[in-house]
Amino acid sequence: MSLQFFRYGVSGVANMILDWFLYFCMYHFILNQQMLHLGIFTLSSHIAALFLTFPISLLTGFFLQKYVTFTGSELRGKVQLFRYCLVVLANLLINYLGLKILVDILGFYPTPSKMVITLLTTMFSYFSQKKFTFKTDKAK
């Protein structure tokens, strides 16, 4: 196992646990498992919790990956952030669709469903971050 993969795992798990904790608190204590009414539309509590915890997880994940895992990338920070956001948006779409299927269609509990989906997106994220977001010049 490479040091980079180990660091990705440790920082990824730390961010994932933070995300799960925030999601649980948001869903159970802040939203009280109730729909979130936003005027012209309403979000179910499990989807609202996903969107409300997203910005926090995005920023903590980016900084952990940039400064702990993929420190060798010479791409500018804003390029990395933009690319990181693209990968995270793909993961957000996967999370959204997964929650809709697991919770709304199959009737599974929201928090374990979120955990399963997160585990499925982990490999996609690692390869995307390594080869796209924080890629390094192999010639050096």
Query: What is the structure's pLDDT at 107?
Result: 95
Closest CA to 20 of 66, 61, 58, 57: 57
- Where residue 33 falls (left for φ over 0; alpha for ψ -120 to 50; beta otherwise) is left
Instruction: Quick: pLDDT tens for 1-28.
Output: 788 889 988 998 899 899 999 999 999 9
Contacts of 39 (CB under 8 A, 6+ apart): none
Is a pLDDT exceeding 70 seen at residue 138?
Answer: no
Torsion of CA 63, 65, 68, 71, to 10 degrees: -110
Query: What is the structure's pLDDT at 139?
Result: 47
Q: 87 near 120, Cβ under 8 Å? A: no
Going by the DSSP 8-state scheme, the letter that residue 53 receives in this structure is: H
Is a pLDDT exceeding 90 seen at residue 123?
Answer: no
Instruction: Quick: pLDDT tens for 55-101.
Output: 999 999 999 999 999 888 888 989 999 999 999 899 889 988 998 99
Q: 65 near 85, Cβ under 8 Å? A: no
Query: What is the structure's pLDDT at 130?
Result: 87
Contacts of 16 (CB under 8 A, 6+ apart): 118, 122
Going by the DSSP 8-state scheme, the letter that residue 39 receives in this structure is: S
Q: Which has more pLDDT, 124 or 106?
A: 106
Handedness of CA 80, 92, 114, 120 (dihedral sign): negative
Q: 15 near 62, Cβ under 8 Å? A: no
Query: What is the structure's pLDDT at 59?
Result: 94
Query: What is the structure's pLDDT at 2?
Result: 85
Q: 121 near 94, Cβ under 8 Å? A: yes
